[in-house]
A = this chain, B = another copy of it.
Amino acid sequence: MNNMAKTENTELKIVEAATSVFVHKGFDGARMQEIADKAEINKAMVHYYFRTKQKLFERVFENVFEVVAERISSSLETSKSIDELLENITGTYFSVLAEKPYIPDFVIHELNRNPELIVHIIKTRGINKAKLSELIITEIQSRSLKPFDPLQIIVNVLALTIFPFAASSIIKGFIFEGDTEKYDKFVNERRQHIIDFVKSAIFKDQKT
């Protein structure tokens, strides 16, 4: 075998550069030359390692998705109650998205643009939807929660958590009129707000 360290290093540099470009500009807006420049290599190298823009994109998309899915699902595994679930799911999303707020728009947009990607990804990463529903149903019965559809509740939590990051420019622009300080305060308070809001909605006896 030959010098592998160099290879892996170059490949990594390409993936990192490509991630940054794809994630901010989308597949259609991304340029192979910009990726090469950002990785400080010749454009031909990008093709040498990944052949096509599409293949490079798939690698990047799966990576990005992987990182989020990994942290989310591992944090879900451990949740034994609705309270824990809420803490874990909001906590994980906020820690991931505070760092990489562009992920929701990227994933949503590319998945809408090319829905076949989903099929491919679901095969490798099945979210334990059934397990989650079960937990919620059990809790609804044992703790006499309001009888909302568990799937609606799951989507609610995702929506409340993810939407502000996806639509940050809109919220910042329209609701906070561009005032970044107020917006940051809003985001900081939001994690706890979501927990309080959801609990208030599903518990009959108010816990807030």
Contact = CB atoms under 8 A, between A and B. Distances in A.
A200 to B, nearest CB: 5
A118 B169 contact: yes
Contacts of A91: none
Given A108-B166, A129-B174, A155-B164, 19 more contacts: A26-B113, A102-B112, A107-B170, A108-B108, A111-B173, A115-B173, A119-B173, A119-B178, A122-B177, A129-B175, A151-B175, A151-B186, A152-B193, A155-B171, A155-B190, A158-B163, A162-B167, A163-B166, A200-B201
Nearest to A174: B127
Determine how many copies of this chain the complex contains: 2
Given A151-B186, A170-B108, A190-B152, A113 B159 contact: no
Q: Lowest 4 A-B CB distances belong to which pairs?
A: A159-B163, A201-B201, A28-B28, A118-B173
Interface residues of A, number: 57
Contacts of A208: 146
Contacts of A25: 28, 113
A144 to B, nearest CB: 12
